[in-house]
Chain A
Amino acid sequence: MIRRILLPCLLACAISVAAHAAETPSAFVQGLGNHVLSLLDRQKTAGEDASTCFHKLLVTDFDIPTIGRFVIGTAWRGATPEERKAYMDLFENLVVDVYNDRFQDYSSEGFEVIGEMPENAKDTRVRSRIVRPGKPPVNVEWRVRAKDGGFRIVDVSVEGVSMTLTQRSEFASILDRNGGRVQALVDRLAEDRVKRDAAKVEAHKDQPPRPETACP
């Protein structure tokens, strides 16, 4: 019975999500925001674990290979294929962990797109606002790139601070202090990943296992 009602609904929802996918950069960002809020809501109200869904969403909606290339700067050119691969894997993991962590602060809040402004032939800057009851709104700007018939995010700026630029200057600092060796950055990222994984285990140590959210 439940299945008979749920299945058409699921199909309809999937179609509406797909139809929404590639209209305008603004619609794309609004869709992403709604998606994140609904996942946060499921985590909160149903006690589910949506980290797999967040992972999928970040990998499909963010242009992680482009961001990764940009934030490592010119050191990319001197990197061996093995170093590039190791770096990209670790970078993807970092982005997923960091944004997963950041999203958690924004549960039960409103998200609205205010406007968009073309930056160049491919990129659009989409301005949005996170509305929090009783607190000043947070201004977030998304740099959205048209790619493969859809859109991908290449940068997020919160109150004028670009996450991509911040990460690039962090990586530059580590590379500078290690004579520009990519392997040093890779080692550092690997070290940090071990620490984050340990912290995740620690954080959920005393909690009962949560069911995984079925990703839309």
Chain B
Amino acid sequence: MMLRVRLYFLAMLAMLLAQGLVAPAVAAQPSGDISVKVYDPIEPVNRFIFGFNDILDRILIGPVARAYHAVLPEFMQNVVRDFTRNLKSPLIMANEALQGDGDGFGRAFGRMMMNTTVGLGGLIDVAGMHGIPYESEDFGQTLGVWGVGAGPYLVLPVLGPSNLRDTAGLVVDAVADPVSEVADATQRDEDLQWVRIFGAIDSRARSENVISDLRRNSVDYYASMRSIYFQSRNAAIKDGAGTANIPDYDEETP
């Protein structure tokens, strides 16, 4: 099993590095000014999948998430969120370590210890209440910190906006997750699937305002999501906000 994991890891890394050499233009953006064009060579395919996801969200996922939000008491929704987040702790710690972020590793470790014990096995985010908020880390982000470019933009079926780097990251995280290993070994993998499905519904429910805002207010919903995904991933990797370098048009000679 470990060998398989390691081979997978290396193959992914090789692929990403190769891709990084092929498309170095998208790798480094000067900080403070993010290019507007997201590299999207298979836009027609992406738009098709995006349309499919949008319909799926309108007829199934969105209504389920709204029902979840309406029916479940708020503290139960927080339990769902906090429990799924706590299960991500080993992966978050691994990624913090791979990014060389010792403080981040310490916070993730502290959160896991506190929440798993005092927080009743992760049901309550005690650490969050004591000023150690949750930080999301994944292998796509780690690769970004290592300098791997985003690569082509991809819209994944059901999962939504991504890019080649982050998709590879998703695969690596999924394969390397020790929680899945433990669930497998103890025949609890089906329970884990349900926990993850509930976690996904919870996170969709929390995005309700943002999604309905974007649907209402976007001139081009696809392009808007693509830009937002690109910018927020960049912000997560660089730990800082990007901003537009907007010229002063008043100084132009007409």
The residues of A that contact B243 with a CB separation of less than 8 Å are 119, 125, 141, 143, 155, 157, 162, 165
Report the Cα distance A119→B222, complex, angstroms. 31
C-alpha spacing A189/B217, complex, angstroms: 11
Of the 9-residue stretches B160-168, B169-177, B232-240, which lies at the interface with chain A? B232-240
In this complex, how many residues of chain A approach chain B with their Cβ under 8 Å: the count is 44
- Contact at B209–A105, with CB atoms within 8 Å? yes
Among B34, B218, B220, B226: residue with most chain A CB under 10 A: B220
| Residue contact A169 to B36, C-beta cutoff 8 Å | yes
Report how far A102 CA is from B214 CA in the complex, Å: 10
Cβ-closest chain B residue relative to A125: B243
A66, A170, A174: the one within 8 Å of B227 (CB)? A170
- Please state if B249 and A69 are interface contacts (CB–CB under 8 Å): yes
User: What does the 1/0 interface line of A50-76 toward B look like (CB < 8 Å)?
Assistant: 000000000000000111011001000
Given the complex, which residues of B lie within 8 Å of A168, measured CB to CB? 36, 244
B37 in the interface (beta carbon within 8 A): yes
Instruction: Decide yes or no: A170 and B218 within 8 Å by CB, A67-B246, A165-B34 being known contacts.
Output: yes
Asked if A157 and B223 sit within 8 Å, CB to CB, the answer is no
Which residues 236-254 of B have a CB within 8 angstroms of A?
Answer: 236, 240-244, 246-250
Q: Which of B36, B133, B248 has the most CB of A within 10 A?
A: B36
Cα separation A159 to B234 with both chains bound (whole Å): 11
| A70 B244 Cβ-Cβ under 8 A | yes
Distance of A141 Cα from B201 Cα, bound (Å): 29
Interface of A is mostly: helix
Q: Are A160 and B218 in contact (CB under 8 A)?
A: no
Asked if B193 CB lies within 8 Å of chain A CBs, one says: no
User: A20 interface residue, CB < 8 Å from B?
Assistant: no
Contacts of A125 in B (CB 8 A): 243
Q: Which residue of B lies closest to A169 (CB)?
A: B227
Q: Decide if A160 touches B241 in the complex (CB within 8 Å).
A: yes
Say yes or no: B241 contacts A141, CB within 8 Å: yes
A166: which of B209, B224, B235, B250 is its contact (CB, 8 Å)?
Answer: B224
Provide the bound-state CA to CA distance between A205 and B197, in Å. Answer: 38
- Give bound CA distance, A123 to B232, whole Å: 22
Task: Determine whether the beta carbon of B217 is less than 8 Å from that of A101.
Answer: yes
Q: Which of B209, B213, B217 has the largest count of A CB atoms less than 10 A from its CB?
A: B217
> B228 contacts the other chain (Cβ, under 8 Å)?
yes
Decide if A160 touches B222 in the complex (CB within 8 Å).
Answer: no
User: Is B231's CB under 8 angstroms from A165's CB?
Assistant: yes
Q: Which residues of A contact B4 (CB under 8 A)?
A: none
Name the one of A161, A188, A189, A199 contacting B232, with C-beta atoms under 8 angstroms. Answer: A161
Cβ–Cβ contact B247 & A70, under 8 A? yes
| Contact across chains for A170 and B223 when beta carbons are under 8 A apart | yes
Interchain CB contact (< 8 A) of A143 among B240, B246, B249: B246
Q: Give A131-181 interface residues, CB cut-off 8 Å to B.
A: 136, 139, 141, 143, 145, 147, 154-155, 157, 159-162, 164-174
Report Cα–Cα, A105/B34, bound state, in Å: 28
Q: Which residue of B lies closest to A141 (CB)?
A: B241
Does residue B130 face the partner (Cβ distance < 8 Å to A)?
A: no
A215 interfacial contact with B, CB 8 Å: no
Task: Known contacts A70-B244, A122-B248, A125-B243; decide if A159 and B232 are in contact (CB<8 Å).
Answer: yes
B232 touching A165 by the CB < 8 A rule? no
**B235 adjacent to A136 (CB under 8 Å):** no
Question: Which chain B residues border A11 with CB–CB below 8 Å?
Answer: none
B246 to chain A, nearest CB (A): 5
Whether a CB of chain B sits under 8 angstroms from the CB of A109 is no
Interface residues of B (CB under 8 A from A): 32, 34, 36-38, 133, 209, 213, 216-220, 222-224, 226-228, 231-232, 234-236, 240-244, 246-250
24 contacts between A and B (CB under 8 A): A65-B249, A97-B217, A101-B216, A119-B243, A125-B243, A139-B241, A147-B250, A154-B244, A154-B246, A155-B246, A160-B234, A161-B228, A162-B231, A162-B241, A165-B227, A165-B243, A166-B227, A170-B218, A170-B219, A171-B220, A172-B37, A173-B222, A173-B223, A189-B219
Which residues of A approach B to under 8 Å, CB–CB?
Answer: 65-67, 69-70, 73, 94, 97-98, 101-102, 105, 119, 122-123, 125, 136, 139, 141, 143, 145, 147, 154-155, 157, 159-162, 164-174, 188-189, 192, 199
